[in-house]
């Protein structure tokens, strides 16, 4: 990684300016009133690299204090937003709150790596915090998205002072867990999720300005008020950019800083690189009690729930297994604390009711138990699993995920061969069709099915997340639509949804996508969850197996996860197609790498159903009382 230290003359001038100019520290009034701050501490790592760290201690209280650490790749030069809210909450509750930049970010030294070297830098940071005179030695970690994702790999190290963690929307830190092989949200079903390319545009900086390493803490504090070292990236129309070919040129063509984006884009799901960085894989132990927070309309809710189960069932320490809790909210990415308190939550276009939840009460109760060692009854009184059921619009709880009472009910795809579009004859039936049939459609990568809603984050507005009326999508002939009869009772679907398609194509490789939809009495069709699967990975992600044109293959789709009640008078619908763009990178149908290709092949894809090829979706239905 190249860095450009400022020339000595320039640095000297800056020091003079910094020491002769009064610059207010970015220290908001609401925090200043309750906290003593020690900012721009350079915490040493084992290799000598130092990480910029801010410490906020409760004012007018006697320590030592339990410590909550938020480690981030983002700019905290001016503490604000959710970080400020967290600082205030924890300091008020008697905690030391610590914010630290990953190495290679802003004023931290060293070379940046995605997830911030959690096994080493995470370990060393915990050790440093535990040794401070103001610390009681008990350290917890907290964060959402990039401030959460590094925590899993650290948990595998089982640091003796890492007593508890609260990871929110942490899927990009999960490599392989159970049946999920997403490698940190890079893939779903073997298909690249374009959000990471967009995210890297604003984050990667292999070349960056740095200040000399011999500055005093006071000089760093003053310079930080003048220079936040944040790049100002030009705005990009990502919906248009992601339509360009080849994909390998996306970042270079918009003037992105140098970084790992292209190298990662060229990786396949089984690339050894995924197992050499900071991702957590389920071949590792899990050593820390965790309170997980996930969202129904966020990337990676399936792997997130699978990791909760892995830690709950497989951690070697019984106390760690007993210390796992999870909440799943009906929100978008990191939307927990943006849930309205006095009105209904709208996610996309769908009203999911009043979804308020005592987030802070439970988070503080969890940390009080593990970091303050209070006998507050948290373990005994907190449900293991708390989840919001959409449609019914209420919070529920269970002892396990999925709830033990859920029963698998299978719906079979059927038609007379004309399921194309909303106006076709596709049906979802509880019985296997008596006769064989099939539905074909043309998938043209240059005219893909557009993304509308779903589990989306961080893609620069290229596609939107949440639930939207899908009838415009369903009017397309390259979307197969299968719809149930009217439901005569409320039908709660809670758990893992599995689906199997029997497919054929005249291409060597293609994708198949599915979308579960709730059809309201007025015809509005709101998406519940969706996924996609690259056919070359139908036998596993360790190898590619291409199709023989015209031959029929059994395709197990990547699982869905939800809790949603289809109300009486509604219908259950399944859409089948081959794209959801630009949320997922298009398969160009050539059998090639896709990433470096500029030409596409139009594919004629077919879904088969009937006694021999029973394409189907299996829903976990909770019996009504």
Which of 298, 368, 478, 529 is labelled catalytic? 298
**Cβ contact 200:261 at 8 Å:** yes
**Catalytic residue list contains 235:** no
Which of 162, 310, 333, 564 is labelled catalytic? 333
Question: What 3 state SS string does 181-228 have?
Answer: CCCCCCEECCEEECHHHHHHHHHCCCCEEECCCCCCHHHHHHHHHHCC
**Terminus-to-terminus CA distance in the chain, angstroms?**
61
310-319 long-range contacts, CB within 8 A, separation 24+: 310/177, 310/178, 310/282, 310/286, 311/155, 311/286, 312/384, 312/400, 314/282, 314/286, 315/285, 315/286, 315/287, 316/285, 316/287, 317/158, 317/287, 319/289
CB half-sphere exposure, 371, CA atoms < 13 A: 31
- Give the whole-angstrom CA distance, residue 133 versus residue 87: 20
Task: State which H helix or E strand residue 411 sits in.
Answer: strand 407-414
Nearest by Cα to 133 from 96, 182, 176: 96
Q: With the C-alpha atoms ordered 33, 34, 35, 36, is the resulting torsion angle positive or negative?
A: positive
- Give the whole-angstrom CA distance, residue 136 versus residue 307: 30
**Cβ contact 409:540 at 8 Å:** no
Which of 70, 108, 135, 145 is labelled catalytic? 145
- Give the whole-angstrom CA distance, residue 487 versus residue 490: 7
What are the phi and psi torsion angles at 535 (to 5°)? -70, -30
Token pair recorded at residue 594: 């896709």
Nearest by Cα to 621 from 455, 492, 463: 492
Encode burial over 280-293: b for 16+ CB neighbours within 10 A, e otherwise.
bbbebebbbbbbbb
Q: Count of CB atoms within 10 A of residue 203's CB?
A: 22
**Cβ contact 406:494 at 8 Å:** yes
Bridge-based pairing state of the strands 191-192 and 324-329: unpaired
The residues that bridge with 513 in the sheet, in sequence order, are 532, 577
**Catalytic residue list contains 298:** yes
Find the angle CA(605)-CA(611)-CA(613) to the nearest 5 degrees. 30
The residues, any chain, with a CB within 8 Å of residue 142's CB and separated by 6 or more, are 68, 69, 70, 86, 148, 165, 166, 363
**Cβ contact 121:43 at 8 Å:** no
Active site residues: 145, 298, 333
């Amino acid at each position: 990684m190249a860095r450009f230290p400022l020339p000595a003359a320039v640095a000297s001038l800056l020091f003079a300016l910094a020491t002769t100019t009064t610059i207010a520290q970015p220290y908001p009034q609401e925090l200043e009133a309750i906290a003593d701050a020690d900012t721009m501490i350079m915490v040493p790592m084992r290799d000598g690299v130092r990480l910029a760290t801010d410490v906020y201690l409760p004012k007018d209280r006697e320590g030592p204090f339990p410590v909550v650490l938020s480690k981030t790749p983002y700019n905290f030069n001016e503490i604000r937003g959710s970080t400020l809210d967290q600082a205030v909450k924890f300091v008020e509750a008697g905690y030391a709150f610590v914010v630290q930049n990953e190495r290679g970010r802003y004023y931290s030294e060293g070379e940046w790596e995605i997830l911030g070297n959690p096994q080493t830098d995470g370990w060393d940071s915990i050790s440093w915090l535990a040794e401070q005179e103001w610390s009681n030695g008990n350290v917890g970690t907290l964060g959402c998205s990039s401030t959460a994702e590094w925590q899993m790999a650290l948990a595998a190290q089982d640091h003796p002072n890492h007593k508890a963690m609260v990871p929110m929307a942490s899927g990009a830190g999960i490599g392989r867990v159970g049946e999920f092989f997403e490698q940190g949200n890079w893939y779903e079903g073997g298909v690249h999720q374009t959000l990471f390319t967009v995210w890297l545009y604003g984050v990667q900086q292999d070349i960056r300005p740095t200040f000399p390493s011999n500055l005093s803490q006071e000089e760093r504090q003053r310079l930080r008020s003048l220079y936040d070292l944040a790049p100002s990236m030009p705005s990009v129309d990502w919906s248009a950019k992601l339509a360009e070919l080849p994909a390998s040129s996306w970042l270079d063509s918009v003037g992105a800083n140098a970084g790992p984006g292209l190298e990662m884009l060229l990786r396949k799901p089984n690339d050894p690189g995924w197992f050499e960085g900071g991702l957590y894989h389920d071949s590792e132990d899990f050593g820390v009690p965790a309170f997980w927070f996930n969202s129904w309309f966020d990337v990676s809710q399936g792997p997130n729930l699978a990791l909760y189960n892995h830690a709950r069932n497989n951690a070697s320490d019984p106390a760690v297994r007993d210390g796992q809790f999870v909440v799943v909210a009906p929100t978008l990415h990191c939307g927990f604390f943006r849930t309205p308190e006095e009105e209904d939550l709208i996610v996309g276009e769908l009203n999911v009711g009043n979804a308020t939840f005592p987030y802070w009460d439970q988070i503080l109760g969890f940390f009080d138990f593990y970091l303050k060692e209070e006998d507050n009854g948290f373990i005994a009184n907190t449900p293991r699993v708390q989840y919001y059921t959409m449609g019914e619009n209420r919070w529920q709880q269970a002892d396990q995920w999925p709830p033990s009472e859920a029963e698998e009910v299978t719906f079979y795809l059927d038609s007379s061969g004309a399921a194309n579009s909303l106006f076709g004859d596709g049906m979802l039936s509880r019985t296997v069709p008596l006769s064989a049939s099939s539905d074909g459609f043309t998938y043209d990568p240059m005219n893909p099915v557009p993304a509308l809603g779903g589990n989306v984050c961080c893609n620069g507005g290229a596609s939107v997340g949440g639930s939207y009326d899908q009838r415009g999508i369903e009017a397309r002939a390259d979307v197969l639509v299968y719809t149930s009869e009217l439901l005569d009772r409320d039908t709660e679907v809670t758990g893992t949804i599995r689906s199997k398609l029997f497919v054929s194509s005249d291409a060597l490789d293609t994708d198949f996508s599915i979308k579960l939809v709730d059809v309201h009495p007025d015809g509005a069709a709101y998406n519940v969850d969706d996924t996609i699967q690259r056919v070359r990975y139908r036998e596993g992600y360790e190898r590619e197996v291409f199709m023989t044109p015209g031959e029929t293959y059994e395709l197990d789709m990547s699982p869905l996860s939800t809790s949603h009640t289809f109300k009486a008078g509604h219908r259950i619908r399944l859409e089948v197609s081959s794209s959801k763009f630009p949320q997922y990178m298009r398969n160009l149908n050539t059998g090639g790498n896709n990433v470096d290709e500029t030409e596409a092949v139009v594919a004629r894809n077919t879904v088969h159903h009937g006694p021999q090829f029973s394409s189907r979706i299996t829903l976990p239905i909770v019996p009504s009382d």
